[in-house]
Amino acid sequence: MTGTLSWISTVVQGVLLGGLYAMFAMSQSLIFGVMRLTNTAHGDFIILASFGVFSVAVALGLPPAVAPWLAMILMLPIAFGAGYVLQRLVLNRVVGRDPLPSLVVTFGLAIVIENLLQEIYTADPRSIESGGLNVASISIAEGLSVGTLPLLTFAVAVAIAAGMQWLSGRTALGRSFRAVSDDRDAAQLMGLDHRHIYAMATGIAFALVAVAGALHGMKTTFAPADGPALLLYGFEAVIIGGMGSFYGTLLGGIILGVTQVIGFRFDPGWGIWLGHIVFLGMLLFRPTGFFAKTR
């Protein structure tokens, strides 16, 4: 009986972890979907956001139950602006049919961010103080409880997936996203400035990165060199879920989260490995993902 219960607990933990991975993934999927740009610095931007929220929260000097949330809200416009400007000044110059320039430039950015963070904050792991929220839990049944912060993170991920689906399907901006994604030149003839639309997409993606960075930093410790791992988890969630659907990405994150947690249960050394293997198996047997809308 306790065996079954502990398995249920493991799966629930995995689902909630998947919410965080989905958040890493949705911003990546937005940028890739709109401009076919693979941002290899994505994980480093998440870590940068974690450090940003960490520093702002400390500077605010408010009680730790409030400070990280206020810091996260303050970071949203900053992240949006940073994303918009980065796209206009740098990434728009390298977006194109040839993936090489954008890969090299974002890879270069990743190295710059990681080493600047190392210079400023040293290689020591940090965490964002959340006033005990990271260890609080809610009891669901006898012997089964879930962490409050992971539950909250999952709820935010679901809300973002719904919000992004709405933005993409029901708003003028979402229509422009889809238009420049389908045919940039035709969209331009209809009066859409793709440089602005791309920058809007990256701006929104960076705002999502700020939220993901804040929640990641409250949940666990983080260090400057952690970025690549987060990039890979987000990327795997995008591919497992299938391009073009935010709910698909959410599900991709959940599959990855559950797989990793089950792997960890067998042996702590194999959790991440098992997640990668499921991703590679997915590529081999169902390369378009579960919920692909576009290819």
Partner 1 sequence: MSATFRTFEVHRATRASRAGGLVSLAIVAFLATLPLWAEAGTLREIDELACYLIYAMMWNLLAGYGGMVSIGQQAFLGLGGYALLVMGNFAGINPFVAVPLAAIVTALFAIPVAQIAFRLQGGTFAIGTWVIAEVFRLSIANWSAVGGGSGTSLTALRGIEKATRIHVTFWLCLSAAVIAIAATYLLLRSRQGLALLAIRDSEVASESQGIHVRRTKLGVYVAAAFGAGLAGALYFLGNLRISPDAAFTVNWSAFGIFIVMIGGIGTIEGPIIGALIFYLLNKIASDFGTWYLVGLGALAIAVTIKFPRGLWGGFSRRFDVHFFPVQRRLVLPPDEKGGSFHA
Interface residues toward partner 1, by CB under 8 A:
32, 36-38, 40, 90, 93-94, 99-105, 107-112, 114-116, 118-119, 228, 231-232, 235-236, 239, 267, 269-270, 272-273, 276-277, 279-280, 283-284, 287
Q: Could you tell me the smallest distance in angstroms from the CB atom of residue 178 to partner 1?
A: 20
d(CA 148, CA 60) in angstroms, rounded, equals: 24
Phi, psi (rounded to 5 degrees) for 147: -65, 140
Cα separation, 152 vs 219, whole angstroms: 11
Q: Are 160 and 211 in contact (CB under 8 A)?
A: yes
Rounded CA separation 180/191 (Å): 11
Closer Cβ to partner 1, 144 or 277, answer by number: 277
**Beta bridge pairs of residue 137:** 147
Nearer to partner 1, 191 or 269 (CB): 269
Secondary structure tally for the chain: helices H, strands E:
11, 2
Q: Least distance (Å) from partner 1 to the CB of residue 63?
A: 34
**Torsion sign over Cα 249, 137, 228, 54:** positive
Pick between residue 239 and residue 250 the one whose CB is nearest to partner 1: 239
State the minimum distance, in angstroms, from the CB of residue 94 to partner 1: 7
Beta-bridge partners for 141: 144
Least distance to partner 1, CB of residue 293, Å = 16
Question: For residues 93 and 170, which CB has a smaller minimum distance to partner 1 in the complex?
Answer: 93
* Nearer CB in complex with partner 1: 99/132: 99
For residue 47 the two structure tokens come to: 């870590």
Q: How many whole angstroms separate alpha carbon 244 and alpha carbon 248?
A: 8
Q: How far is the CB of 119 from partner 1 (least distance, A)?
A: 5
Structure tokens at 150: 């992971």
**Matching residue, tokens 């879920």:** 241
For residues 114 and 129, which CB has a smaller minimum distance to partner 1 in the complex? 114
C-beta of 196: minimal distance to partner 1 in Å? 20
CA angle (250 as vertex; 236, 202 as ends), nearest 5:
75
C-beta closer to partner 1: residue 9 or 39? 39
